């Protein structure tokens, strides 16, 4: 008999509980370390609330894209409105690129300050067309003669205007780019004065 009695609880203690406790701890640890097959390596599977918040953020991003596209359309519309107003008022800030600059402005003013035969081409062409429809040989001959005269006058007037415009541009803007300015002015002379854009800023006979 031992000198000190051993407690019976220590002798008959169930070892199943001792073995089961580490196993439960290991299972809990393993369950925390496992990850979803589709989740990135080293990251746990997101919770449902996190996934929902991510979906809401994607939806908000798509709405932001729509708002950005709407804002761009509004800005383009405002730019077109400013350009339209500039074509009527001659405001250099919002004119199209082909109309900007002092060289192009002088070419416009040079053409607008004088009478151009080419600007009357359209009404004269209508009159000649009407005369040519009349089934009278003498009237048709007159219409043909008028057509030839109009063409010759337009060619001569355009040649003189182009020569004078080139000379003026060379004198006034020797250091600036003048390429295409003469053709720009001659194309403007083919249009009727009231239909020209930008609108004329000088009167006929007024020096540009």
Spatial neighbors of 140 by CB under 8 A, at least 6 apart, are 131, 132, 134
Q: Quote the tokens at residue 159.
A: 């040649």
Higher pLDDT, residue 22 or 106: 106
- Token pair of 29 as six digits: 């640890």
pLDDT at 65 over 90: no
- Average per-residue pLDDT in the chain? 79
Structure tokens at 72: 């761009």
Q: Angle CA(38)–CA(42)–CA(48) in degrees, nearest 5?
A: 55
pLDDT digits (tens, 9 = 90+) for 116-153: 999 999 999 999 999 999 889 999 999 999 999 999 99
Per-residue confidence (pLDDT) for residue 70, from 0 to 100 = 84
Average pLDDT over residues 55-70: 67
- Residue 43 pLDDT: 55
Q: Residue 196, Cα to own-chain centre: how many angstroms?
A: 24
Nearest to residue 201, comparing CAs of 97, 109, 111?
Answer: 109
> Can you give the pLDDT at residue 87?
84
What pLDDT digit, counting tens, does each position of 14-30 carry? 444 444 444 444 444 44
Across the range 43-50, mean pLDDT stands at 62
In the chain, the percentage of residues whose pLDDT exceeds 90 is 47
The answer to whether 148 and 156 are in contact (CB under 8 A) is no
């Amino acid at each position: 008999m031992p000198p000190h009695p051993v407690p019976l609880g220590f002798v008959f203690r169930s070892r199943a509980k001792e073995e089961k406790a580490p196993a439960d701890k290991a299972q809990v640890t393993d369950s925390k370390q496992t990850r979803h097959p589709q989740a990135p390596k080293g990251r746990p599977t997101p919770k449902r609330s996190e996934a929902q918040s991510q979906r809401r953020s994607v939806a908000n991003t798509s709405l932001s894209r729509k708002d950005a596209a709407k804002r761009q359309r509004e800005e383009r519309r405002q730019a077109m409105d400013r350009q339209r107003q500039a074509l009527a008022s001659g405001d250099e800030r919002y004119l199209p690129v082909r109309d900007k600059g002092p060289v192009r402005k002088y070419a416009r003013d040079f053409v607008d300050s004088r009478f151009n035969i080419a600007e009357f081409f359209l009404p004269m062409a209508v009159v000649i067309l009407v005369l040519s429809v009349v089934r009278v040989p003498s009237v048709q001959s007159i219409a043909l003669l008028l057509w030839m005269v109009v063409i010759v006058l337009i060619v001569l007037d355009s040649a003189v205007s182009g020569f004078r415009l080139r000379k003026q541009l060379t004198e006034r803007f020797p250091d600036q780019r003048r390429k295409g300015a003469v053709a720009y002015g001659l194309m403007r002379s083919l249009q009727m004065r009231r239909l020209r854009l930008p609108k004329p800023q000088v009167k006929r006979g007024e020096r540009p």
